[in-house]
C-alpha cells in the first residue's frame, strides 16, 4: 500500500457510460494484476475503489462506469487535475496458477482487471483465451485490445446484437488449464458451476477503508472470514462459500 498523488493524463469515453482514465504517478506499490486503487475525490467522504486495468511505467489506466456520485464526479475531472490515491490494494491474481492455457472470463465492468492479467500472461508466453460478456453491442469495450494482445477471443452479448448470443458460460472453450474471472456475482456463480479446473474469482463489495482496517467488506469463506479488500478481492475456487 502506498499513498500517492496521481495526475490525470487523459479521459476517454468508451461507451455510453463507461470511461477510461489514465493517471500518472508512482505505481510501484502495484505488484499484481487484479489489485485495486482507492481514489479520494473532492466532496466525498469515503474513497472510491477501482480495479487496475493497465500499468505502463508510471501510467495507470482505470476503467469506470458512471453509476453514482463518485463516478459522476470522476467523469467531470480533467487532465492536469490531481487525485490522492491509495495504490497496490488487495491480493490480485496469481499468474503462477495459470498453466499453459488460461481462460479469462469477464463480464461488463468486470473486464478491466483481466486486461493487465492478459498482458502479463501473454508476456509469459501463455496461450490465453478470453471470453468477454456484455448486455448489448453498444456496451462492448476493450475487445479489440484483448485481440491485439494475441488472445483468442469470444464476445457474448445477452441480446445477440454482437458475437455469440447468450452469456459468457455459453462461449467457454473445451480445453483450458485455469480460469481467471471478474464480473457481477450471478456471472461468477454461473462460472463457478460450469468450469472444470481451478479458478481465481474477483469479488466486489462495498468497502469502507479498502486496506483492511474497518471490516466493512468481510465475507465468509471455507478458510474462515476474509476481507474482500485485503485477502481478496481475488478468492480461489476452493475457498469460496456462496452465501444464501
Partner 1 sequence: MGRLSVDLCGIELDNPVIPASGTFGYGWEFAELYDINILGTFSFKGTTREPRFGNPTPRIADCPAGMLNAVGLQNPGVDRVIDTELMKLKTVFHKPVMANVSGFSVAEYAEVSAKLDAQPQVGWLEVNISCPNVHGGGMSFGTDPEQAASVVRAVKAVTTKPVIIKLTPNVTDIVTIAKACEQAGADGISLINTLLGMRIDLKTRKPVLANVTGGLSGPAVFPVALRMVWQVAHAVKIPVVGMGGISCAEDVLEMLTAGAAAVEVGAANLVDPLACKKIIEALPEAMDRYGIRNLRELRGA
Binding stretches for partner 1 (CB under 8 A)? 1, 3, 40, 44-47, 70, 86, 205-209, 211-220, 225, 230, 243
Between 162 and 211, whose beta carbon lies closer to partner 1?
Answer: 211
**Residue where the block lists cell 481467471:** 180
Between 123 and 223, whose beta carbon lies closer to partner 1?
Answer: 223
Cβ atoms 229, 207 nearer than 8 A: yes
Q: How far is the CB of 38 from partner 1 (least distance, A)?
A: 9
Between 103 and 109, whose beta carbon lies closer to partner 1?
Answer: 109
- 138 CB neighbour count, 10 Å cutoff: 13
Q: How far is the CB of 70 from partner 1 (least distance, A)?
A: 8
Provide the sign of the torsion angle of the four alpha carbons 203, 1, 7, 121, taken in this order: negative
- d(Cα 113, Cα 98) in Å, to the nearest integer? 15
Between 192 and 211, whose beta carbon lies closer to partner 1?
Answer: 211
- Assign 144 to helix, strand or coil: helix
Q: How far is the CB of 157 from partner 1 (least distance, A)?
A: 24
- d(Cα 162, Cα 235) in Å, to the nearest integer? 31
Q: How far is the CB of 203 from partner 1 (least distance, A)?
A: 11
Between 193 and 206, whose beta carbon lies closer to partner 1?
Answer: 206
Nearest to 35 by CA among 55, 64, 11: 55
Between 46 and 55, whose beta carbon lies closer to partner 1?
Answer: 46
Q: How far is the CB of 135 from partner 1 (least distance, A)?
A: 17
Q: How far apart are the first and last CA of the chain?
A: 33
Q: How far is the CB of 208 from partner 1 (least distance, A)?
A: 4
Nearest to 29 by CA among 88, 104, 112: 88
- 34 CB neighbour count, 10 Å cutoff: 23
Q: How far is the CB of 49 from partner 1 (least distance, A)?
A: 11
Q: Which helix (H) or strand (E) holds 156?
A: strand 152-157
Between 166 and 216, whose beta carbon lies closer to partner 1?
Answer: 216
Nearest to 227 by CA among 63, 49, 107: 49
Amino acid at each position: 500500500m502506498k499513498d500517492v498523488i496521481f495526475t490525470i493524463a487523459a479521459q476517454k469515453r468508451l461507451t455510453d457510460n463507461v470511461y477510461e482514465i489514465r493517471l500518472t504517478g508512482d505505481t510501484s506499490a502495484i505488484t499484481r494484476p487484479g489489485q485495486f486503487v482507492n481514489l479520494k475525490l473532492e466532496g466525498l467522504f469515503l474513497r472510491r475503489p477501482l480495479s487496475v486495468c493497465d500499468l505502463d511505467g508510471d501510467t495507470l489506466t482505470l476503467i469506470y462506469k458512471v453509476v453514482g456520485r463518485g463516478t459522476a464526479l470522476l467523469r467531470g475531472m480533467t487532465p492536469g487535475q490531481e487525485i490522492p490515491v491509495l495504490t497496490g490494494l488487495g491480493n490480485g491474481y496469481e499468474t503462477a496458477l495459470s498453466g499453459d492455457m488460461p481462460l479469462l472470463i469477464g463480464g461488463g465492468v468486470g473486464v478491466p482487471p483481466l486486461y493487465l492479467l492478459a498482458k502479463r500472461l501473454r508476456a509469459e508466453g501463455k496461450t490465453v483465451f478470453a471470453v468477454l460478456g456484455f448486455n448489448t453491442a453498444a456496451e462492448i469495450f476493450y475487445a479489440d485490445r484483448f485481440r491485439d494482445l494475441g488472445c483468442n477471443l469470444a464476445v457474448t452479448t445477452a441480446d445477440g446484437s454482437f458475437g455469440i448470443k447468450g452469456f459468457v458460460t455459453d462461449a467457454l472453450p473445451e480445453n483450458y488449464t485455469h480460469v481467471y474471472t471478474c464480473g457481477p456475482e450471478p456471472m461468477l456463480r454461473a462460472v463457478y458451476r460450469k468450469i472444470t479446473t481451478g479458478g481465481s474469482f474477483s469479488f466486489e463489495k462495498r468497502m469502507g477503508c479498502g486496506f483492511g482496517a474497518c471490516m466493512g467488506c468481510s465475507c465468509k469463506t471455507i478458510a474462515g472470514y476474509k476481507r474482500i479488500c485485503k485477502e481478496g478481492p481475488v478468492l480461489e475456487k476452493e475457498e469460496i462459500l456462496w452465501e444464501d
